[in-house]
Amino acid sequence: MGFALALVTLLSFTTANRGGAVYDKFGVKVTVQQSREGAEEIQIVLKHRGGSLEHAAFIYAPGEGGWLYLGNGSHRRAVPLGRFAAEGERLINRLGYRGVRGVKVELGLLVFAQVFNVTERGGKKILEIYTDIFAVPLNPSEVRGRRVVVEREFMPVYKIEQPLDEDASQQMGAWTGGPGTPPIGASPCYDPRNPKQFEYCYSGSAYTYCYYWAQASSTFADTVIAPLATVYLDSYAGPKIQRMQTDVWIYLSSSTTTSLSFDISMEVRGLKLPRLRLSLATGISFTLSDISQRIDFIDVSGFVYNSRYDSTPARLWDYLRGRYGPVYPGDSIHDDGVVYIGILGELRYTKWVYVYNRFSPPNYCEVQNLDYADGIAFYPWGDPSYNGAFYPYLVIDDAPFALKETKALSAAMSAPNVIMDITNSAYW
């Protein structure tokens, strides 16, 4: 059992939104409307300086077995949500939250939103491609038969440039072929990873340029213990500690906080660009739906003893269940060590690739993988017998960072967080 990079799935607390939208936080506004055709769909609207942007949007959703590619939309094209409604509900049930009382559980859809801009530099035209990456939390059962409109103030986090060696005028627009049809038939330009990627491209007299985010690998899932409270005792402070107590209590109520969430962690690593780390709200969230209740997710106290002074084994008291919980893998420390209280769940890792697809009818094709994005999402397991309460663990690493899990924890804590300034353009 391990928890790998579970630390980077940040735990967030917020107060309830009281506006007209069902969700309006972290730069994402979600409104649910009745669908005219009766089928569920999602429309992305990108805003900038009070106006709407032409764009492409590549949308992925968590399913029971991994991330699902829902399709690519644009400023004029919505994406069906039927698969998410079915698979997302199965995932919530499998995690143990079926029938929970007083709480709404939402899963985060992952959106890669892309905007083109042409500028001139040194007398030459440059195509700039900006990408914003964000999450949209939705409850699968609430989107059935609904049209979901997502408004997002465009905040690009990633940019590449493409020189345009063409004298003729160029224009942006949709490919005019049939739905899902490769621009030049069965040519090498067709990419089965994303068969409908040509909704929004940049067209010129000689070439058409398409860029898109495709899933490069299937989702890898592992059972993990995600740390909530961590204590590190080094060789200097450790020998002075005889006994340590760690308390963790997380609950929702109308008088304190009304929602909590676990974020999606994204790392974009380019061939020519520095790494960019993002924390996207939300991977999975829990929102109080009955303000008359208090919903407890974890209420524990961990007791750990230094074997130099006391041979008493470590204990984890679970107040919700009225019994002792599991301690893993040892039951004491000697002077130094790492101790944390965590919760059991599922960690999902998926890789996306940023693809450059340039073509010129009738027979020229060029497809390249430019950059990669690694996504990590943690989904805690809920105990149906205790209204979805988390499963707590007390983890003890007596030899600091000897466990592979704690090594990963250390790497996640020490990794640099790179912020890129990509808005230095006349367009923005």
Distance between CA 395 and CA 232 in Å, rounded?
Answer: 12
Does pTM surpass 0.85?
no
Q: Which residue has the tokens 């790497």?
A: 411
How many C-beta atoms lie closer than 10 Å to residue 179's C-beta?
10
What is the reported pLDDT for 313? 94
Asked whether the bond before 362 is cis by omega within 30 degrees of 0, the reply is yes
**What count of other Cβ atoms lies within 10 Å of the Cβ of residue 160?**
18
Rounded Cα gap, residues 367 and 198, in angstroms: 13
Of 320, 313, 311, the C-alpha closest to 343 is: 320
- Of 249, 230, 151, 238, the closest CA to residue 395 belongs to 230
φ, ψ of residue 348 to 5 degrees: the values are -115, 130
Q: Which two tokens stand for residue 150?
A: 């997502």
Q: How far apart are CA 257 and CA 10, in angstroms?
A: 16
Query: CA of 271: how far to CAs of 101, 248, 253, 266, 367, in Å?
Result: 48, 42, 47, 16, 16
Residue 8 pLDDT:
32
Q: Find out whether 373 and 268 touch, Cβ atoms under 8 Å.
A: yes
Residues in the chain: 428
pLDDT attached to residue 341:
92
Helix (H, G, I), strand (E, B) or coil at 84: helix
Stated as kind and residue range, the H or E segment containing 126 is strand 124-138
- pLDDT value at residue 95: 96
**Cβ contact 114:57 at 8 Å:** yes
Residue 145 near residue 38, CB atoms below 8 Å: yes
CA–CA gap between residue 166 and residue 11 (Å, rounded): 49
Tokens matching residue 46: 């990108």
Q: What pLDDT was estimated at residue 119?
A: 86
Per-residue model confidence (pLDDT) at position 403: 59
Tens-of-pLDDT digits for all 428 residues of the chain? 333 323 333 455 444 443 346 788 888 999 998 887 778 999 999 999 888 998 889 999 999 888 999 988 888 889 999 999 999 999 999 999 999 999 999 999 999 999 988 888 888 888 888 999 999 999 999 999 999 999 999 998 888 888 876 533 444 443 333 333 333 333 336 676 665 545 567 876 677 788 888 888 877 888 888 888 888 888 888 888 899 999 999 999 999 899 999 999 888 875 455 677 888 888 999 999 998 899 999 999 999 999 899 999 999 999 999 999 999 888 888 888 888 999 999 988 899 988 888 877 666 778 888 888 988 899 999 999 999 999 999 998 876 656 555 555 554 444 333 333 333 333 34
